[in-house]
Structure 1
């Protein structure tokens, strides 16, 4: 009996929360229906996006309430309401997630009274079940009903609030659109960097090389010694141009990845970073054919640049002398984790390269997590999906 009373008390608390939310939802829907026509005719449609955002918050409160009772999270699938007024109105009226929320609110308008009506069962249940179990030795029958009612309220809300396949598809399309825009921006920035490096470095050295060879040809018959000096300078210019080209090539796809694999390339980065870096590799090929399989070239390149950017930031900004890098093979892809014990406070808007890192990873449908509280540590965690 004691256990039954405890379960009934917990269910009563859940029903009380549901009753409060139902009461608020019913008032909101009533006011919304009354004000909708006047709003559209008098004030205009500018309030509609804000109303939809309020509906999302109410539905989110119900999702959290149901999750607290059942232990099962109800995911959200909303398109962001941003941009111009026309764009916000289009998203607010066409988002399938909003349609699901409105359907739930209309249904809740009907069955939301259920928790309010069933709350009085608590005192009745105590009396009836006390007599039923104490005098007759039978199991309680009224108090368990309260728990079943809480389950029923949660099940109905869960079935109505869970995202439909159409809503999930719409959110996925929006994510891919943003990812593509980021990838295009990152690709454009990379092309501009390569063009700048070639124009300011390699091209200038090749022009100088051509001029020196031309001068050497003119001086060859008149002054062989001067021609020889010009050719020596031309050779120096050629070597510098080759060094510039190697630098550009490394920015596109580092040859060390091909030669040593990701593990070997990251160890080389660690050795040249100026920090005391500990590298841990789990389940990846080490470049000598030992260990696990290699990730696809594009994934290896993205992981390499993530580590390079993170170690560069740590050396420049963190104030720490130590860092840790972990590369791990996961069932769904490759995981990269870089940690330093510096001062923290990494800011993506501060030109630290984190935005470029996110765009590079997002182009491969990966994820980036950055934790950098003031005082440190800074931890960057990246997951790059791939098939092994």
Structure 2
């Protein structure tokens, strides 16, 4: 069987499936009538969402058939039918997709049969032609081309009836975007709260305790100054040491908020300094960033901390002595890629630093992709929206 004949036999199969589905559509119409009657009486409202879900399954089967024939998927934009009975009924009745499916199933109960009957007529005509001219001329000249066109017509009509409108697609995209931003905002609030608690803990347990001890030593030194100058001098020396330790802890806290090295050296220089202290042999490239306008401070900080977390994980867990950091400028984003050739298996589902990285990046509407198959390599890609 050559390719053309195989395609046309597929068309025949498609039409037979359409005829079967048209029978299902025809049998489903009484179900719709029953649902409408019991819903109007008020005693069978619970039937409505179940009928709509069954309608979605039938329409979904037709979408699969259209995709099977054309190679292009037919999008479906359904609202979730879940929750209390009243919510499920309202969702089922207010969803525009419900009326698209109803329009399709009513039309398909008619044109599905018509196209199937037309295919039968075409096959009969082809058989009659074969009876006059031998060699299957009827099949080649009449049946095969027309059956393929009938199958294409069935798919085109079904796609037109089932495909969401442009407004519906825009509304669905907007709803998805709102849901995504809601989740992102929740993550950002959680990350912000965790960061505030960390800063408070560092200040309370470290810097504040040292400043209290410093105040006490200065007070003791002042009391002992006239009676025992040596003891006072010793207390002042200790106080000076504590001042230096408090300053070091304050620098550590500030570095966790926005590393000063970012302000001094820029992102590429800061990442190179970070790489130098990572304990790994790290190659850093900054494509298009050396002489470019600097990104906003929040974007720089997020990229810096992403690299810091990635290199820390690589040094602790990968077993690889080397890593590579690529910083690249794109027209509307800053892209960061960190790669190591270690053992792989990185997973952010357990609440690790990767999860914190995702939250920090998501707060800026960025994207984090982690590829870490067992055996390596581990590649972490970060993309942060940025207007240069």
Under a length normalisation based on structure 2, what TM-score does the superposition of the two structures give? 0.78
Give 2:355's aligned residue. 355
1:228 deviates by 1.9
Deviations 1:133-188 (A, max 9, x none): 958x9888623422431441353145337743333222222221111111111111
**Structure 2: gaps spanning 5 or more residues:** 131-135
Provide the C-alpha distance between the structure 2 equivalents of 1:15 and 1:185, rounded to a whole number of angstroms. 55
Indicate yes or no: 2:116 matched with 1:101: no
Deviations 1:258-296 (A, max 9, x none): 22222222222222222233333322x23xxx2x33322
1:353 deviates by 1.7
Provide the C-alpha distance between the structure 1 equivalents of 2:269 and 2:12, rounded to a whole number of angstroms. 60
1:382 deviates by 2.1
1:381 deviates by 2.2
Give 1:333's aligned residue. 333
Provide the C-alpha distance between the structure 1 equivalents of 2:18 and 2:287, rounded to a whole number of angstroms. 48
Give 1:315's aligned residue. 315
Give 2:146's aligned residue. 142
Provide the C-alpha distance between the structure 1 equivalents of 2:28 and 2:380, rounded to a whole number of angstroms. 43
**Structure 1's 154 and 232: CA in aligned 2 closer, same or farther, altered over 3 A?**
farther
**Structure 1's 365 and 229: CA in aligned 2 closer, same or farther, altered over 3 A?**
same
SS of the equivalent of 2:163 reads helix
**Structure 1: gaps spanning 5 or more residues:** none
SS of the equivalent of 1:344 reads coil
Deviations 1:41-86 (A, max 9, x none): 58969x95x887777676666555545544545556566778xx45
Matched residues, number: 374
Provide the C-alpha distance between the structure 2 equivalents of 1:262 and 1:246, rounded to a whole number of angstroms. 19
Provide the C-alpha distance between the structure 2 equivalents of 1:343 and 1:51, rounded to a whole number of angstroms. 52
Provide the C-alpha distance between the structure 1 equivalents of 2:163 and 2:315, rounded to a whole number of angstroms. 51
Q: 115, 120, 139: which one pairs with 1:118? A: 115
1:124 deviates by 5.0
Give 2:281's aligned residue. 276
Give 2:178's aligned residue. 173
1:245 deviates by 1.0
Under a length normalisation based on structure 1, what TM-score does the superposition of the two structures give? 0.78
Deviations 1:194-252 (A, max 9, x none): 11111111111111122222222222222222222222211111111111111111111
Give 1:201's aligned residue. 206
Give 2:260's aligned residue. 255
